[in-house]
């Protein structure tokens, strides 16, 4: 049975969603419904994680993204909202789908099916995939990327660089293929990577030493990096990082 937590602050919307889930004729158990950030945080502090969360973005006490900042959520989320301005941000927070209100029965069914597809594909839930490639106190040797509707695990050594764009994390592999990457931000990601292989050169880029073709001194003590794969930007090591970068490259 699929255990679902609903986070919705509008009673008519909650009642409508419950009816829609019931009409899907699936083995779904709505184990709880919360209506605010604080109530949801309290619920997570006293209950086991559900299998899936259906979450409204706009709650009475703010945007529901605040829940993720106060507690650890390790399960997939289907976001609901009357606006489309938060689509990109939603995918920073375990999103597997994003449904605009009013919720259409077919779209809801499609989102639930996506959960089952991902669960079957990985023979477990979303968090088990994350845990399989990120053990506590160990450096990542594999990275989870999104490929269409799927999540895939690829070798970290095959990633030439990571970069951030519109608050999302992307990676480019040895074959110059670009993927949306499962990471909250570059600061957390660099801490999880092998420091002998990866270096954060500036606020936007992390590079793999094995894909640096050359680096060239630039103005104001900066360094320009040329990778073996093409990228859209000129990669410049910031002034404050240039000395450390040269040490990392054994160039001093």
**H, E, C per residue of 142-171:** EEEEEECCEEEEEEHHHEEEEEEECCEEEE
Q: Given this model, what pLDDT does residue 136 score?
A: 45
**pLDDT band at residue 235 using 50, 70 and 90 as cut-offs:** very high
Q: Given this model, what pLDDT does residue 121 score?
A: 62
Question: CA–CA separation, 83 vs 99, rounded Å?
Answer: 9
Question: CA–CA separation, 147 vs 133, rounded Å?
Answer: 17
pLDDT tens digit sequence for 59-102: 999 999 999 988 888 889 999 988 777 777 777 788 888 898 88
Of the two residues 22 and 5, the one the predictor is more confident about is 5
Q: Given this model, what pLDDT does residue 138 score?
A: 61
- Residue range 118-138: average pLDDT? 55
Q: Given this model, what pLDDT does residue 91 score?
A: 73
pTM: 0.52
Who's near 114: CB < 8 A, 6+ residues apart?
A: 96, 97, 149
The matching CATH number, chosen from 3.40.50.620, 3.40.50.300, 3.40.50.2300, 3.40.50.10490, for 2-130 is 3.40.50.2300
DSSP state of 91: T
- Which residues does residue 98 pair with via DSSP β-bridges, in sequence order? 79
- Which residues does residue 36 pair with via DSSP β-bridges, in sequence order? none
- Residue range 231-238: average pLDDT? 90
Phi, psi of 58 (to 5 degrees): -90, 110
127 pLDDT above the threshold of 60: no
- Residue range 132-161: average pLDDT? 76
What is the number of other CB atoms lying within 10 angstroms of the CB of residue 163? 22
- Domain spans, the chain: 2-130, 137-248
Q: How many helices (H) and strands (E) does the chain have?
A: 8, 17
**pLDDT band at residue 219 using 50, 70 and 90 as cut-offs:** confident
Q: Given this model, what pLDDT does residue 93 score?
A: 80
Of the two residues 152 and 236, the one the predictor is more confident about is 236
The matching CATH number, chosen from 2.40.50.1020, 1.10.730.10, 2.40.37.10, 3.20.20.150, for 137-248 is 2.40.50.1020
Q: With CA atoms as reference, report the closest residue to 68 among 90, 96, 97, 85.
A: 90
């Amino acid at each position: 049975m699929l255990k679902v937590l609903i986070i919705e602050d509008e009673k008519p919307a909650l009642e409508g969603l419950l009816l829609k889930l019931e009409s899907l004729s699936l083995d779904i158990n709505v184990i709880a419904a919360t209506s605010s950030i604080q109530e949801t945080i309290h619920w997570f502090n006293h209950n086991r994680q559900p299998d899936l969360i259906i979450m409204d973005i706009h709650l009475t006490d703010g945007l529901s993204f605040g829940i993720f900042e106060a507690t650890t959520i390790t399960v997939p989320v289907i976001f609901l909202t009357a606006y489309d301005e938060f689509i990109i941000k939603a995918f920073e927070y375990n999103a597997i789908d994003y449904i605009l209100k009013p919720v259409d029965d077919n779209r809801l069914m499609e989102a639930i099916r996506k959960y089952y597809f991902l669960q079957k594909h990985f023979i477990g839930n979303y968090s088990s995939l994350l845990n399989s490639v990120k053990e506590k106190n160990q450096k990542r040797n594999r990275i989870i990327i999104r490929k269409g509707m799927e999540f895939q695990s690829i070798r970290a050594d095959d990633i030439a660089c990571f970069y951030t764009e519109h608050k999302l994390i992307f990676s480019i592999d040895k074959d110059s293929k670009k993927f949306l990457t499962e990471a909250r931000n570059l600061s957390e990601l660099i801490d999880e990577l092998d420091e002998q292989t990866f270096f954060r050169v500036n606020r936007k880029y992390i590079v793999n030493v094995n894909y640096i073709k050359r680096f060239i001194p630039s103005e104001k003590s900066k360094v320009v990096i040329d990778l073996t794969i093409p990228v859209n930007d000129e990669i410049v090591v910031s002034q404050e990082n240039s000395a450390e970068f040269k040490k990392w490259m054994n160039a001093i």
